[in-house]
Amino acid sequence: MRLIPLLLTGAIATLTLVAAPPAFAQGGASTPFTLTTGTERTPEQLAVRFDKADLAFTVRPVTESIEGVATLDFTATAPLTRIVVELDTVFAIAAIAVDGQTLAADQWSNPDGRLTITLPRALAAGDATAIRIAYAGQPHKARNAPWDGGFVWSTTPDGKPWIATAVQGEGCDLFWPCIDHSQGEPARVDLHITVPSDLSAPSNGRFLGKTDNDDGTHTWNWSAAHPDTYAIALNIGPYVELTAPYQSRFGNTVPLHFWHLSTDKPERAAALFAEFPKMLDFYEATVGPFPFGDEKMGVVETPHLGMEHQTINAYGNAYKLDGKGYDWLLQHELAHEWFGNQMTNATWDDMWLHEGLGSYMQPLYARWLNGDRYMEAELATMRLTLQNRFPLVSGRAQDSGTVYTDATGPGLDLYYKGALVAHSLRLLIGDEAFHRSVTRLVYGRADPRPGNFRPLYATTPDFIRLVEDEAGRDLKWFFDAYVYQAALPDLQMTRAGDRVTLQWVTASGPFPMPVEVEVDGRSRKLDMRNGQSTFSAPASAHILIDPHNKVLRRLDFVDAWQARQREEGPTAPRH
Ligand SMILES: [Zn+2]
């Protein structure tokens, strides 16, 4: 089951671990509140527009600590007397100023990681304010990034600092003051990252140059439009940089950048870099324009496996080849530039829109490169992993821990069941309707071109509405069964003499999913109106249901295999 090392299976596991108190700590370990993300926003957070975050970090590898100065620009959308952001209590806050006026210590409090600041002057709707927060400390360390995230303080083989952050499961508040919710995206984030001069600090967005501080450090300056909150990432190391321009099929030129560690096999880094334009062309043909073409497609080698940091994707797959014909990790993380960063789920309950559609892009890419066999092989491997214990979508706003923990949410099914649902949907409604639905979901329009769209939020009902519009028919039954129910639809066959009856059984009501059968090698299509169909076939005939595996459904042989796995423990990876 080598294909399972997918991202973030254990985000909530951090809650049960006890961290050693950091030397700079204000309040010991990160609180459970800090270590989850997507908790419902406060009324104060719902009453602001987050215009900009200007984030200056000094990163000190020797003490594994940071100093931060964050200036947060908000515009009130309703009368407001307080500003509320999230920031890990492991940091000591040196000072908070509002519009240049330093606050007394009793004008703010941060008991559990939700920092409440009383404004010296109430804001009316439309008023802007700038909140400056200076803080320092040892940020939460990742136990097992990217699944269990935080800071990774690593070293290169030759002993140089090699540092990364990955905070998808815990949120932006692990190292900067933010609204730790998927809808908390600032319109812009500027970054100023100060690091020892022999290290590089590639980050999100456009590079605005670096300055020499004449004290053995340099400051790297970046600016990113509409970054996903957990996409803001620090990456620091003695990097070698590869660059090239990419000529898009949409007419624009996208700068490609890859920061990697020096290696005695530079041809491997070059081969991965050569995959960038091929993957971009697939995504631009399949979904639409690369969403951040005026910034860059950036990738940085990290000490952890990977994460979809907007325009600075983390790559830690060590240039492995696995016979698929492409680097699955890079291809998966790149998917999130469309499914995650351009189109962001409204709450974590809609996470399958990121991970399911994003994971479907790998088998589709396998087909794009090498044909049906390689797509089908990936889909078959995915099928073996489905747990079907919780529906992909609950219909309620959820935080990330609830969604990713197997005991409370769909966990890995977000990826593979999501991908297989997308596959069945594509084969049901056809390529054109499927691709147009996905394009409209991602860009909010069917004709995206560079410059005519901005990042947006989406929900599962948004997607269903688009699919029904493009397919020109009601598909509530499809999503009710596959997305809002845990159990897979079950196609039951009964034979009485030469009468054969196929009947769909679901917990969600009628399921008119058409299915093809082969009767002694002869194909026939059953429309399954009302969820069932009867036909005649000799009692001795061999009947093969769904010969092209178009329809996701419960399968006896997979259930039996999974039961055996549970009984005997996982077997060795298959060849
Ligand atoms: Zn992913």
Buried b (16+ CB within 10 A) or exposed e, 68-91: bbbbbbbbbeeebebbbbbbbbbb
User: What values do phi and psi take at 183, rounded to 5?
Assistant: -90, 15
Residue 157, C-beta contacts closer than 8 angstroms, at least 6 positions apart = none
- State the SS3 of 99-160: CCEECCHHHEECCCCEEEEEEEEEECCCCEEEEEEEEEECCCECCECCCECEEEEEECCCCC
Mean pLDDT of 121-144: 97
Handedness of CA 51, 56, 62, 63 (dihedral sign): negative
- For ligand 1, the distance from its centroid to the CA atom of residue 16, given in whole angstroms, is 24
- For ligand 1, the distance from its centroid to the CA atom of residue 333, given in whole angstroms, is 6
Structure tokens at 395: 């219909």
Least confident of 3-7, 219-223, 298-302, 472-476: 3-7
Integer-rounded Cα Rg, in Å, for the chain is: 25
- For ligand 1, the distance from its centroid to the CA atom of residue 352, given in whole angstroms, is 10
- For ligand 1, the distance from its centroid to the CA atom of residue 65, given in whole angstroms, is 28
- For ligand 1, the distance from its centroid to the CA atom of residue 39, given in whole angstroms, is 20
- For ligand 1, the distance from its centroid to the CA atom of residue 310, given in whole angstroms, is 12
Q: What does the mean pLDDT of the chain come to?
A: 93
The pLDDT value given to residue 571: 60
Q: How many CB atoms lie within 10 A of CB 540?
A: 7
3-state helix, strand, coil in the chain (%, to 5): 25, 30, 45
Least confident of 14-28, 129-143, 199-213, 288-302: 14-28
- For ligand 1, the distance from its centroid to the CA atom of residue 6, given in whole angstroms, is 7
33-59 pLDDT, tens digit per residue, is 999 888 999 999 999 999 999 999 999
Q: Nearest-CA neighbor of 327 among 280, 279, 286, 287?
A: 279
- For ligand 1, the distance from its centroid to the CA atom of residue 125, given in whole angstroms, is 38
- For ligand 1, the distance from its centroid to the CA atom of residue 334, given in whole angstroms, is 9
Distance CA 311, CA 292 (A): 7
Q: Mapping DSSP to helix (H, G, I), strand (E, B) and coil, where does residue 536 land?
A: strand
Residue 127, C-beta contacts closer than 8 angstroms, at least 6 positions apart = 75, 76, 80
How many helices and strands, by DSSP H and E, does the chain display?
11, 27
407-461 pLDDT, tens digit per residue, is 999 999 999 999 999 999 999 999 999 999 999 999 999 999 999 999 999 999 9
- E strands, 248-362, in order: 253-261, 297-301, 306-307, 313-315, 343-345
Taking a 5 Å cut-off on Cβ, the residues next to ion ligand 1 are 7, 355
- For ligand 1, the distance from its centroid to the CA atom of residue 306, given in whole angstroms, is 9
Buried b (16+ CB within 10 A) or exposed e, 193-222: bbbbeebbbbbbbebeebeeeeeebbbbbb
Does 511 have pLDDT greater than 90?
A: yes
- For ligand 1, the distance from its centroid to the CA atom of residue 353, given in whole angstroms, is 10
- For ligand 1, the distance from its centroid to the CA atom of residue 394, given in whole angstroms, is 20
The pLDDT value given to residue 315: 97
The pLDDT value given to residue 42: 96
- For ligand 1, the distance from its centroid to the CA atom of residue 35, given in whole angstroms, is 19
189, 232 contact by CB (below 8 A): yes
356-373 pLDDT, tens digit per residue, is 999 999 999 999 999 999
Per-position DSSP letters for 218-238, written without gaps between them: EEEEEEEES--GGG---EEB-
- For ligand 1, the distance from its centroid to the CA atom of residue 542, given in whole angstroms, is 41
Distance CA 166, CA 147 (A): 9
380-408 pLDDT, tens digit per residue, is 999 999 999 999 999 998 888 889 888 99
- For ligand 1, the distance from its centroid to the CA atom of residue 307, given in whole angstroms, is 7
Does 6 have pLDDT greater than 50?
A: no
The pLDDT value given to residue 240: 97
Would you call 473 exposed, middle or buried from its count of C-beta atoms within 10 A (0-12, 13-18, 19+)? exposed
- For ligand 1, the distance from its centroid to the CA atom of residue 276, given in whole angstroms, is 18
The pLDDT value given to residue 572: 52
Mean pLDDT of 71-77: 98
pTM: 0.91
- For ligand 1, the distance from its centroid to the CA atom of residue 150, given in whole angstroms, is 17
Handedness of CA 200, 202, 203, 208 (dihedral sign): positive
- For ligand 1, the distance from its centroid to the CA atom of residue 332, given in whole angstroms, is 6
Does 103 have pLDDT greater than 50?
A: yes
- For ligand 1, the distance from its centroid to the CA atom of residue 357, given in whole angstroms, is 9
Distance CA 180, CA 73 (A): 16
- For ligand 1, the distance from its centroid to the CA atom of residue 491, given in whole angstroms, is 31
466-488 pLDDT, tens digit per residue, is 999 999 999 999 999 999 999 99
- For ligand 1, the distance from its centroid to the CA atom of residue 354, given in whole angstroms, is 7
Structure tokens at 544: 């093969």
User: What values do phi and psi take at 213, rounded to 5?
Assistant: -90, 0
Structure tokens at 125: 């709707």
Does 90 have pLDDT greater than 50?
A: yes
- For ligand 1, the distance from its centroid to the CA atom of residue 358, given in whole angstroms, is 7
The pLDDT value given to residue 20: 32
Does 23 have pLDDT greater than 50?
A: no
Structure tokens at 253: 């030129």
The pLDDT value given to residue 98: 98
- For ligand 1, the distance from its centroid to the CA atom of residue 335, given in whole angstroms, is 8
Mean pLDDT of 130-134: 98
Q: Mapping DSSP to helix (H, G, I), strand (E, B) and coil, where does residue 501 land?
A: strand
Q: Mapping DSSP to helix (H, G, I), strand (E, B) and coil, where does residue 452 land?
A: coil
- For ligand 1, the distance from its centroid to the CA atom of residue 417, given in whole angstroms, is 13
If one compares 252 and 9, the residue with the highest pLDDT of the two is: 252
- For ligand 1, the distance from its centroid to the CA atom of residue 218, given in whole angstroms, is 33
533, 546 contact by CB (below 8 A): no
Per-position DSSP letters for 17-59, written without gaps between them: --PPPPTT-SSSSPPTTTTS--PPPPHHHHTEEEEEEEEEEEE
182-235 pLDDT, tens digit per residue, is 999 999 999 999 999 999 999 999 999 999 999 999 999 999 999 999 999 999
What residues does 241 pair with on adjacent strands?
A: 259
Q: How confident is the model at residue 105 (pLDDT cuts 50, 70, 90)?
A: very high
- For ligand 1, the distance from its centroid to the CA atom of residue 131, given in whole angstroms, is 33
- For ligand 1, the distance from its centroid to the CA atom of residue 109, given in whole angstroms, is 35
333, 272 contact by CB (below 8 A): no
Q: How many CB atoms lie within 10 A of CB 116?
A: 15
Buried b (16+ CB within 10 A) or exposed e, 148-170: bbbbbbbeeeeebbbbbbbbbbb
200 secondary structure, DSSP code: B
Q: Nearest-CA neighbor of 541 among 501, 574, 498, 503?
A: 498
